[in-house]
A = this chain, B = another copy of it.
Amino acid sequence: MVTMRDVADRAGVSIATVSFLLNDTKPVTEATRARIEQAMAELGYSRNMVARALASRRTRIIAMAYPALDHRFGFSAAEFFTSAATAARKQDYHLVLWPVGNDGAELHELVGESLVDGVVLMEVQLDDPRVAILQRTRTPFAMIGRTTELEGLSHVDIDFDKTVADAVAYLYGLGHRNLVLVAGDLADPRFHNHGPYVRTEAAYRRISAEYGLQTIVVVSADNTQSGQEAAARLMRDHPDTTAVLVINEYAGLGVASGLNRLGYDVPGEVSVLPLLMAPETAALSNPELTIMRAPGPELGQLGTEALIRQLEGAAALPPQLIPAKLQPGSTTAPPRPT
């Protein structure tokens, strides 16, 4: 098998010079070019060897796969993305966004082009077809999120258990005993297997039972109107409710404004506490929402770090779970006297 060194030796130039020519990374003189091309022809240095060399070439580009046509790209997603892009840049990588679906078809086409060194997966499903594709194509990847089967997979995620536990403890401490969770819609085929929905709801069911509270869950899509409708539904069916936890970011805005429109005083009559929200979203609400602040900045940075460590052959980043943290606002207070 003819190597680049053989070509360089025969042409009487350095390997670097051959590489400059092959990769067009630096100009070489016409005379040098002619010598190298002649050596390649004489040695039968063929396209496939070049193709292999090219294929092993690093682009220093990594992609964040985000199903932007199915999942709302709101302030929380923007926080993950911009913190990941900033982390990549600090290590001299470029991060690009691939708006590919969760089913993996487009991801497959894109990784087939060998255009990126690796992929960060967002909006991970419990059984995510994208994982098998990345494994099969030997594409390095890290997940911001978790599949059910995690053996050997590089990942960081929200600590949903601790987030929900801290939120319930806070409301319980204020005196609330009649809580409702506004959850994500697992009947929507785009989300039936969506890790954050499944894990948050499961944590809530477990923790509310531990507190001896009635477990009431209503469903909302991730938009303002659906949140408003959920607020109307839950106050109709559960008029004793004194505090509402909300999974979806924009549903949280809708629950607060929906309660206002129905004539409820927030937080005088009902407290509202979104479980995963960016501060910029909270600021859109009037009054500003008390939130469990989603750890987007930390996880975007860590997910990128986990991938780059693989690419650089550094020690693996241990899996990390980070909870959302309480950020006080004006939508939580002790319950109304009964």
Interface, chain A (partner B; CB < 8 A):
21-22, 24, 33, 37-38, 40-41, 43-48, 50-51, 54, 59, 61, 63, 68-69, 72-75, 78, 81-82, 85-86, 89, 94-100, 106, 109-110, 113, 115, 223-225, 250, 253, 257, 260-261, 280, 283-284, 286
Judging by beta carbons under 8 Å apart, are A24 and B40 in contact?
no
Given contacts A99-B95, A284-B284, contact A115 B59 (CB under 8 A): yes
Q: Secondary structure at chain A's binding surface: helix, strand, loop or mixed?
A: helix
Determine the chain B residues whose CB is within 8 A of the CB of A59 once the complex forms.
113, 115
CB distance from A220 to the nearest CB of B (A): 14
Q: Which residue from chain B places its CB closest to the CB of A223 in the assembled complex?
A: B280
CB distance from A124 to the nearest CB of B (A): 19
The residue from B68, B95, B257, B280 contacting A85, defined by CB atoms under 8 A apart: B68
Determine the chain B residues whose CB is within 8 A of the CB of A109 once the complex forms.
94
Judging by beta carbons under 8 Å apart, are B82 and A78 in contact?
no
Provide a sorted-by-A list of 28 A–B residue pairs whose CB atoms are within 8 angstroms. A22-B47, A22-B51, A37-B44, A38-B44, A41-B43, A41-B45, A50-B50, A54-B54, A61-B113, A61-B115, A63-B96, A74-B75, A81-B99, A82-B99, A85-B99, A89-B106, A94-B98, A94-B100, A94-B109, A96-B96, A96-B97, A97-B99, A115-B115, A223-B283, A224-B283, A250-B284, A257-B286, A284-B284
Judging by beta carbons under 8 Å apart, are A21 and B48 in contact?
yes
The 10 closest A-B pairs by CB, nearest first: A41-B44, A97-B97, A37-B46, A115-B115, A257-B286, A224-B283, A73-B78, A85-B99, A47-B50, A96-B96
Determine the chain B residues whose CB is within 8 A of the CB of A85 once the complex forms.
68-69, 99
The CA-CA distance from A59 to B96 in the complex, in Å, is 16
Determine the chain B residues whose CB is within 8 A of the CB of A74 once the complex forms.
75
Judging by beta carbons under 8 Å apart, are A24 and B51 in contact?
yes
Judging by beta carbons under 8 Å apart, are B224 and A110 in contact?
no
Which of A47, A78, A100, A115 has the most C-beta atoms of chain B within 10 angstroms of its own C-beta?
A: A47
Judging by beta carbons under 8 Å apart, are A78 and B69 in contact?
no
Q: Which residue from chain B places its CB closest to the CB of A85 in the assembled complex?
A: B99
Q: Which residue from chain B places its CB closest to the CB of A260 in the assembled complex?
A: B286
Determine the chain B residues whose CB is within 8 A of the CB of A257 once the complex forms.
284, 286
The CA-CA distance from A68 to B54 in the complex, in Å, is 30
Q: 14 extra interchain contacts, Cβ-Cβ under 8 A, other than A61-B113, A113-B115?
A: A22-B47, A22-B51, A24-B51, A37-B46, A41-B44, A59-B113, A68-B85, A69-B85, A82-B99, A94-B106, A96-B96, A250-B284, A257-B286, A286-B286
Determine the chain B residues whose CB is within 8 A of the CB of A21 once the complex forms.
47-48
Q: Which residue from chain B places its CB closest to the CB of A46 in the assembled complex?
A: B37
Judging by beta carbons under 8 Å apart, are B253 and A284 in contact?
yes
Determine the chain B residues whose CB is within 8 A of the CB of A81 once the complex forms.
68, 73, 99
The CA-CA distance from A100 to B253 in the complex, in Å, is 31
The CA-CA distance from A110 to B109 in the complex, in Å, is 20
Determine the chain B residues whose CB is within 8 A of the CB of A225 once the complex forms.
283
